[in-house]
């Protein structure tokens, strides 16, 4: 599903938000190989559309996502199949950060293991007060090593390691306090908050946001000097964009910018 931001009057239409819904609640929205293939396909579906502004990942049922489907990881399947599952999962997680638009996780329930990794991989995460987050793989003999990549980049190291070593869940408020999620709201306000954030994002230039998102993820892994050198060049490049100049001119002229995106 998708919903439009503004209306079809060119003066107020800002684009649309694409919502991807994990919809296998009977299997706790597990990231089976077919689910991962579908998620990758849906993430890429509208990516070339000039009007796409935001992608939201939501879920049906009380569990946002339980992680990998353990039935696929039994000894009955060979190493090649296991590798395919984990490699595709890593591809999807990194794809989220490579997309040119912000991706928001809309969490209303439990997110565990690779499901917790999915939340940590999104650019923004908004959770209801009842949501919980855990990496309990250690309890079944399968340490959450790939979820640890996203967790270790979202949480303080000691918080991430406690989650990984014990499997104990974080409450929504604890996840907020440690930076795993952006906001926590009552369940009945979750949709409203997602809409509010999406509308605000859509007031900005898509091309500027795409440049900014790509730059953020590039610089975050670099040392300080390299990061400043790279982002200094990007700031100059940003000024060469049509929307870069339009924004400055609009500010000086005290009017709203008209983005070309």
Per-residue model confidence as pLDDT tens digits over 171-186: 999 999 999 999 999 9
Arithmetic mean of pLDDT, 214-233: 97
**Residue 174, CA distances (Å) to 16, 94, 252 in order:** 32, 25, 43
Arithmetic mean of pLDDT, 147-164: 97
- Residue 190 corresponds to which tokens in the numbers above? 């979750």
pLDDT of residue 10: 41
- Residue 117 corresponds to which tokens in the numbers above? 């990794």
- Residue 6 in this model has a pLDDT that exceeds 60: no
**109, 85 Cβ separation under 8 angstroms:** no
How would residue 1 be classed by pLDDT, with cut points 50, 70 and 90? Answer: low
Per-residue model confidence as pLDDT tens digits over 231-240: 999 999 999 9
pLDDT of residue 9: 42
How would residue 157 be classed by pLDDT, with cut points 50, 70 and 90? Answer: very high
Beta strand 2-5 pairing with 52-59: unpaired
How would residue 188 be classed by pLDDT, with cut points 50, 70 and 90? Answer: very high
pLDDT of residue 14: 65
Mean of per-residue pLDDT scores for the chain = 93
Question: Any idea of the CA torsion for 169, 174, 176, 179, to the nearest 10 degrees?
Answer: -80
Per-residue model confidence as pLDDT tens digits over 62-112: 999 999 999 888 877 688 889 999 999 999 999 999 999 999 999 999 999
The CATH topology of domain 205-253 is Lyase 2-enoyl-coa Hydratase; Chain  A, domain 2 (1.10.12)
Contact partners, residue 169, CB within 8 Å, separation at least 6: 110, 112, 132, 133, 134, 136
Contact partners, residue 90, CB within 8 Å, separation at least 6: 146
- Residue 64 corresponds to which tokens in the numbers above? 């946002």
How would residue 7 be classed by pLDDT, with cut points 50, 70 and 90? Answer: very low
pLDDT of residue 146: 97
pLDDT of residue 178: 98
Per-residue model confidence as pLDDT tens digits over 164-174: 999 999 999 99
**Residue 46, CA distances (Å) to 43, 50, 259 in order:** 7, 9, 20
Residue extents of the structural domains in the chain: 12-202, 205-253
How would residue 56 be classed by pLDDT, with cut points 50, 70 and 90? Answer: very high
- Residue 162 in this model has a pLDDT that exceeds 90: yes
Per-residue model confidence as pLDDT tens digits over 19-45: 999 999 999 999 999 999 999 999 999
The class (CATH top level) of 12-202 is alpha beta
From edge to edge, which strands make up the β-sheet containing 132-134? Answer: 63-65, 110-112, 132-134, 170-171
Arithmetic mean of pLDDT, 186-203: 96
pLDDT of residue 77: 67
Per-residue model confidence as pLDDT tens digits over 244-256: 999 999 999 999 9
- Residue 8 in this model has a pLDDT that exceeds 50: no
């Amino acid at each position: 599903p998708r919903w439009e931001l503004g209306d079809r009057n060119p003066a107020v239409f800002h684009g649309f938000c694409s919502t991807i819904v994990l919809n296998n609640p009977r299997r706790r929205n597990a990231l089976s190989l077919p689910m991962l293939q579908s998620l990758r396909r849906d993430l890429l579906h509208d990516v070339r559309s000039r009007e796409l502004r935001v992608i939201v990942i939501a879920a049906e049922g009380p569990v946002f996502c339980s992680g990998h489907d353990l039935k696929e990881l039994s000894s009955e399947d060979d190493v090649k199949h296991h590798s395919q599952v984990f490699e595709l999962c890593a591809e999807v997680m990194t794809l989220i950060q490579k997309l040119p638009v912000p991706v928001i996780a809309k969490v209303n329930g439990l997110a565990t293991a690779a499901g917790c990794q999915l939340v940590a991989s999104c650019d923004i995460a908004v959770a209801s007060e009842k949501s919980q987050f855990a990496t309990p793989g250690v309890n079944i003999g399968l340490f959450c090593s790939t979820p640890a990549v996203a967790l270790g980049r979202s949480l303080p190291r000691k918080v991430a390691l406690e989650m990984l070593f014990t499997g104990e869940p974080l409450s929504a408020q604890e996840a907020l306090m440690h930076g795993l999620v952006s906001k926590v709201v009552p369940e009945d306000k979750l949709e409203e908050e997602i809409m509010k954030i999406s509308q605000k994002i859509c007031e900005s230039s898509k091309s500027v946001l795409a440049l900014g998102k790509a730059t953020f993820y590039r610089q975050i892994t670099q040392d300080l000097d390299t990061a400043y050198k790279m982002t200094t060049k990007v700031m100059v490049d940003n000024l060469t964009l049509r929307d870069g100049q339009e924004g400055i001119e609009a500010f000086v002229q005290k009017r709203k910018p008209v983005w070309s995106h």
